[in-house]
Structure 1
Amino acid sequence: MCGLAGVLLARADRPQAELAGLAACMGSQLRLRGPDDAGVWAEAGAGIALAHQRLSILDLSAAGHQPMPSTDSRYVVAYNGEIYNFASLRKELSALGHGFRGHSDTEVLLAAVVEWGIEAALTRFNGMFAIALWDRQQACLWLARDRVGKKPLYYGWAGADLVFGSELKALWQHPAFDNDVNRDALTLLLRLDYIPAPHCIHQHAFKLMPGSLLRLDAADVQRGPQAHDPYRDQRRFWCARSRMQQAIANGFAGDAVEAEQQLDGLLRDAVGARMVADVPVGVFLSGGTDSSLVTALMQSQSAPPVRSFTIGFQGSHHDEAQTARQVATHLGTAHTELYVSGADALAVVPTLPSMFDEPFADSSQVPTALLCRLARQQVTVALSGDGGDELFYGYTRYQRAVRNWSSLQRVPTHLRRWLARRMPYSGEAARAGGLAAVLAEVDARGIGDVYRNRISRWRDPSAAVPGAVEPWSIYRDAEPLAMPGHEHEAMMLADFMAYLPDDLLCKVDRTSMAVSLEARCPLLDWRVAEFAWSLPMDFKYRDGTSKYLLKNVLRRYLPDDLVDRSKQGFGAPVGDWLQADLKEWADDLLEPATLARQGYLDADRVGGLLRQFRQGQRKWHTHLWNLLMFQAWLQHWRQVRAAVNNGVA
């Protein structure tokens, strides 16, 4: 795992040393992503510079140094991630006449691009990656991100120049990056607890969407951000929606036993590929279905005990450490668990703005950061179970949304619309339940509208951000899948395209990279995803059991009493914190005069929620947490930019 950064000038008017120095400064901010090596490549005549920070995983020698040129010198790449099928690709490319100096997958990536071109090469890669590739012949920059979006990639304008990198902290180092807050994107944070791609908290800045490719040259940079449309200019080399539609149309033809056998084989292969490393490898084990299955498949393919890691919480009803211990004992892993106190968790909170760079309000970021810190003491790579819920119908909110939509469809559409006009609900009141919650869904156009209510924090976030208009996200679509009759799949698709990459995978990436740990997700192998999409719903949800087929596979490795357990959360007691230990911190950040002076949030609306929360009238802690994460981030960003402007960053 690594970090990359770079700059493409609108006009190639900077000396080589200055251009290289700027890239080096940007890259240095990512040293935790790659503490083992650092490199810079610049070409002043083209106005391009690339920086790279390396966390050595494969081929620990200098042969894996980046930025790396191709053997024909046409391309130069800075790359973050892993290509798990690099060995088979290397064999194929060797037969075609390509030579290799070392054993890194970066060389294979470059040879594949030379042989097949960038877009065709990307379709052959099975892995997680963010790529910045300079084509010296065409004088253009290619940015690419893996199918699922495991690795991040930001880009945007700093004055007249284009800057890009794994995290915003790299972009901030450009002296002209004074881009203000994107108010519209802020509404997405309030609704979702995160900002989905391609949107970004900054004006004139964007995220590359999963499975996408972007070509930029000096002319594109000169045209500026006003001429850039990420939905038009980012090209999909793999589209989750179309792949799911195709998988459903073709469908799995076998029975449940055959599906179980095939899924077991796919998962074993995906796990085995992600165990390949020249450094110690372990696994996050919560005791739930997904992490238990990944751990079982690892141990079944490992002679020595696999190193597994669990965090326990003192006095918490979310604690799964005991279950994880039982799973570890049965499988025979070398298990490490750590019980942490509330003070341990609270100590993480001040570090969140610098860890995430962009406002992020999933409170499970705190225990995840503690888990990554624990694992890094023994391993450099850790596998996780992310993806099982989105692929195998694991969330109870799916069931509630389908139930609500089925009930609504019994009422004539014209009557529902009449009710919506005559009895409008008032924004956040719907969070309190009762009649307001019912009225919030009466004018739903499809399952997408109902599901949006299930996953929203703020139901009307634009009301809290003066002058803002909420941008489009897949949760605005009435039918995310565009296939009537597949409501279950539509919700899983929406989560796969937004919640998974921009919340769950973002959380794991930032917290793991903060301690120089690489996290790998075998359930999100694209072959597993497309197979899951081909399965009938009866294989995913049967007789009240979610993840039915996945649990059947797990039964091959664990007894029933360790499989048939109810799902527990992995969060933090934010409500308690805000009433006690973090009360003063929260009051300072949400002080009315401060909010009014900043002008991003409606001080009266925020103050009303805070008063109700303090009086115990409403459980507004989730609303307040994403406001606080924004305020803490804003404070951090301004401090960093002040340091850059003063020349002390």
Structure 2
Amino acid sequence: MCGIAGVIDKRLADAPQQLTASAEAMAAALAHRGPDGQGCWIDGPAGVALAHRRLAVVDLSPAAAQPMESADRRFVIAYNGEIYNAQELRRELISLGVVFRTYSDTEILLEACCQWGPRKALSRLAGMFAFALWDQRERVLVLARDRMGIKPLYWQQESGRLIFGSELKALRACPNWSAEIDRDAFAALFARLYIPAPLSIYRGVSKLAPGTMLTWRLGDEPLLETYWSLADSAMDGRLNSLPEDDRVVAEAMEAALSDIMRGHLISDVPMGALLSGGIDSSTIVALMAEFGADRPHTFSIGYDDPDFDESDHAAAVAHHLGTVHHQLRVNASDALRVIPRLAEIYDEPFADGSQVPTLLVSEMARREVAVVLSGDGGDELFGGYDRYWERSAQWNRVKALPVQGGLAALLGLLPLNIVTGPLRRLGLLADARQSLPVIRHLLRLPVIDPFYGSSQFVWAKPPVSYPFSQNHPQTWPQLNPAIVPDALDRMQYADTMTVLPDDLLVKVDRASMSVGLEARVPLLDHRLVELACRIPASMRRRGNAAKWPLRLVLDKRVPAALFDRRKMGFHMPMTHWMKGPLRPWAEELLAPHRLASSGLFDVPAVRAEWLAFQSGGADRTYDAIWGVLMAQAWLERWTGG
């Protein structure tokens, strides 16, 4: 795991010192991602510079440093990630006559691109990665990102140059860089508390989409190409479903996970795992103990509040599996210690409240190991969220109504106080901030997608002071309802294409890499993703037991009594803390004069939400105001306003 950055600027073709200085400045901004070394490579006549910060995990020798040049000197690569089928590819490439100088997966990836070309090489990879590949012969740059969006990559083309980096910090560090805040992106933050791809907080700076490669030839426009599509996998999965048979599903899961885990356990540095004691993390740790070290290190967070504390469950699973278990008890003081760093770590506005415990557990783990495994992705792949089943039930009630169009028209004529009760019973007005025009629109829809999306909004109307567009570019295709009509399939697909890469994986990547810790996510290996697409919706839940395919694997290794409980999620008692110990910090940041300084906020709306939160009951969560706090903290850190 590392950090990459680079610039292509033909105007610097005769200024190699400026090229080098630019690349080195960009790499220095990513030093936290790669504390073990820095490298820079330039092609002066082409105006190309690639930079790399190294976190040495596999092949620790200097020979494996980057940027790395291919044996025939045609290609140069700067790469961040891990290739889990690297040894299999290595054997095949050796059979084709390739002679390797190192044992690193960097060289295997590089020579695969040399042997088969970047597009075909990408189709052969199993891993998490973002890389830049410069073709010296053809004068072409390729940027590529892994299928699930585990590793980040930002890029910008302006004034005849193209720059890129693992984080926005790298782009900011490039000399003569300038960009303005994208007001539409800033407004979009408040719907789901993250900025949706391909947008970034800066106008003209984009996130490269998962499963995408960008090709840029000097003088041409960048060409974006999808080399792997979850939509295709989802539709293929429905056409080639596994039978509804526990034995068949269990055997397929065991075979896939056995192969995947062996690849994820390759490392030349100490490894551990994040363990909550839930189904996903317990499955990962159980397989890690089976296929890897005798006593892996595990890490968990605990709280004094029993509504949020899973530490006893994690400790029980760790004891059963014989791990070396580490536990951190967290209080409001611990949160307040790291909260001021969040705007620096998440270098565009980002407001997933679990970013705080993720950072704290990463700090603890890094004191013992350099690599951790995480159970992220299990809920999205195997239907673990309660909201899937709640929204499916609501949607089925709506679709059962005999006159949907007539009901939508009627809602336009009746006053709110008459229709509120029936709408709540139907589950259509779960939040007072939802509006009747939105509900009338949703009642006319043939598929659940917009209904589900709107039900997840944190702010129905973003608290901004200006008009904005909600017509954001979408980088992912819709599923054909004739092939994938099931509401559960469609909701899981939507989350896997949006919440997962733009929220959950951002949270884990930035928190772990801020302390030089590599986080691997075995459940998001594309081979398991494609298998999950073939498992019928009816097999993802058995009675009240969600994620049934994972349970079939875990049941063989851990007693159900240790993990079979209500899902809690990786959250802190932040609602309580923000009405108590964290209130002075929040009050100060939300002072009207500070909110007004940027000119972006609707200050009365923010203050009204803050007062409503402070006076509200336990059901008034902190999410909406946390979004404002993180946005304001970011503005003050990066814009001075």
Match of residue 601 from structure 2: 601
Residues 543 and 432 of structure 1: CA distance in aligned 2, closer, same or farther (over 3 Å): closer
User: Once structures 1 and 2 are overlaid, which stretch shifts more, 141-150 or 583-592?
Assistant: 583-592
How many Å separate the matches in 1 of 2:292 and 2:430? 50
The alpha-carbon deviation at position 451 of structure 1 amounts to 0.8
Match of residue 304 from structure 2: 314
SS of the counterpart of 2:163?
Answer: strand
Residues 160 and 584 of structure 1: CA distance in aligned 2, closer, same or farther (over 3 Å): farther
- Deviation string 1:286-306 (CA, Å, 9 cap, x unpaired) is 000000000001111235211
Do 1:156 and 1:163's aligned partners in 2 also have CA atoms closer than 8 Å? yes
How many Å separate the matches in 2 of 1:363 and 1:286? 17
Match of residue 240 from structure 1: 230
TM normalised by structure 2 equals 0.93
Match of residue 42 from structure 2: 42
Residues 620 and 258 of structure 1: CA distance in aligned 2, closer, same or farther (over 3 Å): closer
User: Once structures 1 and 2 are overlaid, which stretch shifts more, 184-193 or 200-209?
Assistant: 184-193
Match of residue 638 from structure 1: 639
Match of residue 416 from structure 1: 407
How many Å separate the matches in 1 of 2:10 and 2:411? 51
Q: Which amino acid aligns with 2:620?
A: K
The alpha-carbon deviation at position 407 of structure 1 amounts to 1.4
Do 1:282 and 1:382's aligned partners in 2 also have CA atoms closer than 8 Å? yes
SS of the counterpart of 1:45?
Answer: helix
SS of the counterpart of 2:627?
Answer: helix
Do 1:464 and 1:602's aligned partners in 2 also have CA atoms closer than 8 Å? yes
Do 2:235 and 2:479's aligned partners in 1 also have CA atoms closer than 8 Å? no
How many Å separate the matches in 1 of 2:503 and 2:132? 23
Q: Which amino acid aligns with 1:622?
A: D
Do 1:448 and 1:478's aligned partners in 2 also have CA atoms closer than 8 Å? no
Match of residue 186 from structure 2: 186
How many Å separate the matches in 2 of 1:459 and 1:420? 19
Residues 556 and 465 of structure 1: CA distance in aligned 2, closer, same or farther (over 3 Å): farther
Residues 137 and 334 of structure 1: CA distance in aligned 2, closer, same or farther (over 3 Å): same
State whether structure 2 residue 210 is matched by structure 1 residue 210.
yes
The alpha-carbon deviation at position 205 of structure 1 amounts to 0.2
Residues 568 and 620 of structure 1: CA distance in aligned 2, closer, same or farther (over 3 Å): closer
Q: Which amino acid aligns with 2:544?
A: G
Q: Which amino acid aligns with 1:132?
A: A
- Deviation string 1:516-552 (CA, Å, 9 cap, x unpaired) is 1101111111111111110111210122221112112
State whether structure 2 residue 339 is matched by structure 1 residue 349.
yes
Residues 14 and 593 of structure 1: CA distance in aligned 2, closer, same or farther (over 3 Å): farther
Gaps of 5+ in 2: 418-422
Gaps of 5+ in 1: 643-649
Q: How many matched pairs? A: 627
How many Å separate the matches in 2 of 1:396 and 1:434? 17
- Deviation string 1:90-131 (CA, Å, 9 cap, x unpaired) is 110011111111100111111101111001000000000001
Identity of aligned residues (%): 40
How many Å separate the matches in 2 of 1:480 and 1:168? 35
Do 1:393 and 1:547's aligned partners in 2 also have CA atoms closer than 8 Å? yes
The alpha-carbon deviation at position 269 of structure 1 amounts to 1.6
Residues 485 and 450 of structure 1: CA distance in aligned 2, closer, same or farther (over 3 Å): same
Residues 511 and 294 of structure 1: CA distance in aligned 2, closer, same or farther (over 3 Å): same
Match of residue 420 from structure 2: none
The alpha-carbon deviation at position 510 of structure 1 amounts to 0.6
The alpha-carbon deviation at position 436 of structure 1 amounts to 6.5
How many Å separate the matches in 1 of 2:481 and 2:54? 39
Match of residue 504 from structure 2: 504
How many Å separate the matches in 2 of 1:397 and 1:198? 26
How many Å separate the matches in 2 of 1:482 and 1:120? 31
State whether structure 2 residue 321 is matched by structure 1 residue 331.
yes
Residues 7 and 407 of structure 1: CA distance in aligned 2, closer, same or farther (over 3 Å): same
Do 1:188 and 1:470's aligned partners in 2 also have CA atoms closer than 8 Å? yes
Q: Which amino acid aligns with 2:575?
A: G
Residues 322 and 334 of structure 1: CA distance in aligned 2, closer, same or farther (over 3 Å): same
Alignment of 1:62-461 (within 5 A): 62-157=62-157, 160-220=160-220, 233-253=223-243, 255-302=245-292, 304-411=294-401, 412-422=403-413, 433=430, 439=436, 440-444=438-442, 445=445, 446-461=447-462
The alpha-carbon deviation at position 235 of structure 1 amounts to 1.2
How many Å separate the matches in 2 of 1:82 and 1:503? 21
- Deviation string 1:340-384 (CA, Å, 9 cap, x unpaired) is 222112211000011111111000000011111111111111101
Match of residue 627 from structure 1: 628
How many Å separate the matches in 1 of 2:270 and 2:415? 58
Residues 328 and 356 of structure 1: CA distance in aligned 2, closer, same or farther (over 3 Å): same
The alpha-carbon deviation at position 258 of structure 1 amounts to 1.6
- Deviation string 1:578-630 (CA, Å, 9 cap, x unpaired) is 33333333333333334344221222222222232233378262111111111
How many Å separate the matches in 1 of 2:393 and 2:435? 13
SS of the counterpart of 1:443?
Answer: helix
The alpha-carbon deviation at position 175 of structure 1 amounts to 3.2
How many Å separate the matches in 1 of 2:458 and 2:475? 13
SS of the counterpart of 1:569?
Answer: coil
How many Å separate the matches in 2 of 1:159 and 1:476? 28
User: Once structures 1 and 2 are overlaid, which stretch shifts more, 16-25 or 587-596?
Assistant: 587-596
State whether structure 2 residue 581 is matched by structure 1 residue 581.
yes
User: Once structures 1 and 2 are overlaid, which stretch shifts more, 250-259 or 186-195?
Assistant: 250-259
TM normalised by structure 1 equals 0.92
- Deviation string 1:471-509 (CA, Å, 9 cap, x unpaired) is 437699996867452111000001111111111111111
User: Once structures 1 and 2 are overlaid, which stretch shifts more, 322-331 or 577-586?
Assistant: 577-586
User: Once structures 1 and 2 are overlaid, which stretch shifts more, 581-590 or 306-315?
Assistant: 581-590
Do 1:3 and 1:80's aligned partners in 2 also have CA atoms closer than 8 Å? yes
How many Å separate the matches in 2 of 1:475 and 1:425? 37
Do 1:25 and 1:173's aligned partners in 2 also have CA atoms closer than 8 Å? yes
SS of the counterpart of 1:32?
Answer: helix
- Deviation string 1:192-229 (CA, Å, 9 cap, x unpaired) is 11112211111110000000000123324xx7xxxx7x
Q: Which amino acid aligns with 1:239?
A: S
